[in-house]
Amino acid sequence: MEWLKEPEKNFPPHETLKHFNDGVCVTYIKEKSGLSQSTISTYLTNMEKCGLLISSRHGKWSYLKRNEEVIKQYLDFIK
């Protein structure tokens, strides 16, 4: 989640999109994490199901970005 807060500092833009408007390519997240495909997929899927991440798809690539509104609501709730 921290890496996705400032994706331009932690990831290269995907070669197809050239920007981070739709988030970070899942492949880049997996590579940076060093976790297996199945492990990172489980983690990211669960965060998406909880509403913490927003997923979009462009061609064969999936992108994820933080859902800042849900994160803010959660932080306000636990204060």
Q: Is the pLDDT of residue 75 over 90?
A: yes
Please give the backbone phi and psi of residue 43, each rounded to the nearest 5 degrees, phi first: -60, -50
pLDDT bin (cut points 50, 70, 90) of residue 43 is: very high
Q: Are 35 and 51 in contact (CB under 8 A)?
A: no
Q: How far apart are the first and last CA of the chain?
A: 19
Q: Output the average pLDDT for the chain.
A: 95
Q: Is the pLDDT of residue 79 over 90?
A: no
pLDDT bin (cut points 50, 70, 90) of residue 59 is: very high
Burial of 8 (0-12, 13-18, 19+ CB in 10 A): exposed
Q: Any idea what DSSP says for residue 14? A: P
